[in-house]
Amino acid sequence: MCPARRKNRFAVFIVLAALASLVLYLLVTFGPTLQSLLESRMGRMGSQADTIVRGLQLLVLGILAFLVVRALNFLIFGLFRLRSGFDAPTLMRNVFSIVTFTILFLIIFTIFFPNVNLGALFTTSAIFGVIFGLALQDTLGNFFAGISLQADRPFQVGDVIVVGAQRHTGVVEEISWRAIKIRTFQNHIVLINNSSAAKEPIEVCPRDNLNARLVFFGTLYTDSPAKIIHVVREAVREADNVSQRISPIVRIRNMGDSAVEYEVKYWLNDYAKYNDTDALVRQRIWYAFRRAGLSFAFPTRTIHVERKTAGEVGRGSAVTDRLAAVDIFAPLSAEETTMLATASVSHVFAPGELVIRAGDPGSSMFVVHNGRVSVQISENGRPRMVATLNEGDFFGEMALFTGEPRTASVVALEETEVLEIGHDAMKRVFETNPDLVESLSHIIAERREGLVARTEQSPVDRETSAGLLSTIKRFFGLS
Ligand code: CMP
């Protein structure tokens, strides 16, 4: 309530209290005079004059009692507000007022009319009770539903709630003896009867809770999920009202007809502002996409024409350049490197994905084109990192050149593109470059040493590079 209105109400209260006190004073002082006046004027009914005067006094005292209850209500719940920092529920205030007033009034009544048996008055008026009960059926239903809502306290003023099948959504402003008052996000007021609310499911988003929201968007199939997830997460976590306590989650929810469909789950500081925050999150995603060169999807039909695009030609030369920079392929001629590049197949792995598994058979090797991988062996059932390989490094050569199972697992540490080179392509290269076999056998022997040192294999299992050379030659049918 605004201070000006509070001041006005206080003034009205003081004026009313003064008036009632004055009238009561006059009725008490001039009560006997008024009574004898009434007796003389009312003739046969004169015996009722005393009851009329007492009735008037009771009425004015009743008004004063009402004002006292209001004052008490203001003091007690004002104190409650000061100590707890929020308003007590309206229903509680109303129940307090009704009960206190009834007690006060009954006390005054028995003082003024000691001969009237109140118990008998209430019990004998059964018909009155039935009529009264029927008339107040809905009101009493709301009242008791309101009391049970207060007792359960499933939500409080300031919480966002969604009520019933009609999904009335808004911030709770008041819970009175009749209804729950919510303010919708269009700034309308919706009143929901307590008795209806008690029957309906209510979704509560408490004010002091980290409530989450989901925002959806779709991207082209050509855009990489790892990149999208990173870009969107970073863009959303900085938006206003997005909680810093939990990092937003970005995940693929569906592979649609014309889009990879994503959802962002984020948590809000103030849930009541979710419409604005959803909009801000979408805006941030749009700008982040623009900066990162990503594209939103819209319903499209793509016709694939099998023709090499300039991009693919450029990509082909990038692959050739990558292979030419790998140290073991340095002795190869430009034609041989191009042949290897043409024969290679590119694969993209998500962060954490397994590229090869220890113990599997393998007939190809890999060159890291983009990203990073980790070579891991299993130690007491737990993965242990042996080496990290970066762009231009290769792996998988041991199984390819010796025919033995994979000696270790290789896992992508980030989004990684690898170029896979198969047995046949390598055989062709070996035939024209016999020296390559020798340098490879040195590298394999070195890597094996690394593995032996970590796994504490017995020296018997170790193989020299000379031994490896003849194994590789035999395996590839080279002289
Ligand atoms: P391969 O055995 O075919 O499969 C697992 C691969 O991990 C292996 O070939 C090597 O390429 C690689 N690898 C194994 N040990 C090491 C090491 N010590 N350093 C780098 N790479 C390794």
Residue-level pLDDT at 141: 77
**210 or 472, greater pLDDT:** 210
Residue-level pLDDT at 327: 85
Tens-place pLDDT, residues 360-372: 999 999 999 999 9
- Atom 12 (ligand 1) nearest CA: 395
- Atom 6 (ligand 1) nearest CA: 396
Question: What spacing in Å lies between the alpha carbon of 386 and ligand 1's midpoint?
Answer: 9
Which of 1-10, 34-43, 403-412 has the highest average model confidence (pLDDT)?
403-412
Q: Tokens 């008004």 map to which residue?
A: 63
Question: What spacing in Å lies between the alpha carbon of 224 and ligand 1's midpoint?
Answer: 27
- Residue 358 above 90 pLDDT? yes
**303 or 18, greater pLDDT:** 18
Mean pLDDT of the chain: 86
Tens-place pLDDT, residues 51-92: 888 889 889 999 999 999 989 999 998 898 888 777 777 777
In the chain, the percentage of residues whose pLDDT exceeds 70 is 90
- Atom 17 (ligand 1) nearest CA: 447
Question: What spacing in Å lies between the alpha carbon of 98 and ligand 1's midpoint?
Answer: 83
Tens-place pLDDT, residues 137-159: 777 777 777 777 776 778 888 89
- Three-state SS string over the chain comes to CCHHHHHHHHHHHHHHHHHHHHHHHHHHHCHHHHHHHHHHHHHHHHHHHHHHHHHHHHHHHHHHHHHHHHHHHHHHHHHHHHHHCCCCCHHHHHHHHHHHHHHHHHHHHHHHCCCCCHHHHHHHCHHHHHHHHHHCHHHHHHHHHHHHHHHHCCCCCCCEEEECCCCEEEEEEEECCCEEEEECCCCCEEEEEHHHHHHCCEEEECCCCCEEEEEEEEECCCCCHHHHHHHHHHHHHCCCCECCCCCCEEEEEEECCCCEEEEEEEEECCHHHHHHHHHHHHHHHHHHHHHHCCCECCCCCCCCCCCCCHHHHHHHHHHHHHHHCCHHHCCCCHHHHHHHHHHCEEEEECCCCEEECCCCCCCEEEEEEECCEEEEEEECCEEEEEEEECCCCEECHHHHHHCCCCCCEEEECCCEEEEEEEHHHHHHHHHHCHHHHHHHHHHHHHHHHHHHHHHCCCHHHCCCHHHHHHHHHHHHCCC
Q: Which residues have any ligand 1 atom within 6 Å of their CB?
A: 356, 362, 375, 386-387, 395-399, 406-408, 410, 447, 450-451
Which of 108-117, 129-138, 377-386, 468-477 has the highest average model confidence (pLDDT)?
377-386
Tens-place pLDDT, residues 83-105: 877 777 777 787 888 889 989 99
Residue-level pLDDT at 309: 60
What mean pLDDT is predicted for residues 316-333? 88
Residue-level pLDDT at 184: 94
Tens-place pLDDT, residues 226-255: 999 999 999 999 899 999 999 999 999 999
What mean pLDDT is predicted for residues 455-469? 62
What mean pLDDT is predicted for residues 107-114? 87
**Phi and psi at residue 61, in whole multiples of 5°?**
-65, -35
Taking a C-beta distance cutoff of 8 angstroms, is the pair 400, 365 a contact? yes
For ligand 1, mutation pick of 375, 397, 419 (most atoms within 8 Å of CB): 375
Residue-level pLDDT at 302: 60
